[in-house]
Amino acid sequence: LVRAHVMMKLSPKLTSETEAALAAMPELSALYSISGEHDMIAMLAAVDLAELDQLIDRIGMLEGVARTTSSIILATRVIR
């Protein structure tokens, strides 16, 4: 599996609708509200990079998502 996190800047009026659309994605393992420049962060898992690329594109096209920043997780150092 290829894992990544996607940080999103959302339109304030569409936050709940966008959250529901994200929650319906089976590739999403967690969704967090965060402080700072972005509003939410999604933890994703895809079979390969091609699937991850398509998933990130789908997220970016959701109504209410103004901007995304994503990072692929290369290695897990600690999980508690």
Give the closest residue to 59 by CA, choosing from 16, 23, 13, 12: 23
What are the helix and strand counts (H, E) for the chain?
2, 4
Radius of gyration from C-alpha coordinates of the chain: 12
Indicate if the pLDDT at residue 15 is higher than 90. Answer: no
Work out the pLDDT band at 12, boundaries 50, 70, 90: confident
Res 33: pLDDT: 94
The residue among 17, 4, 6 whose CA lies nearest residue 62 is 17
Q: In what order do the strands lie in the sheet with 65-73?
A: 28-33, 40-46, 2-10, 65-73
Q: Domains of the chain: which residue ranges?
A: 2-73
Query: Tell me: the pLDDT tens digits for 33-77?
Result: 999 999 999 999 999 999 999 999 999 999 999 999 999 999 999
Write the class of the CATH domain 2-73: alpha beta
At 78, which amino acid appears? V
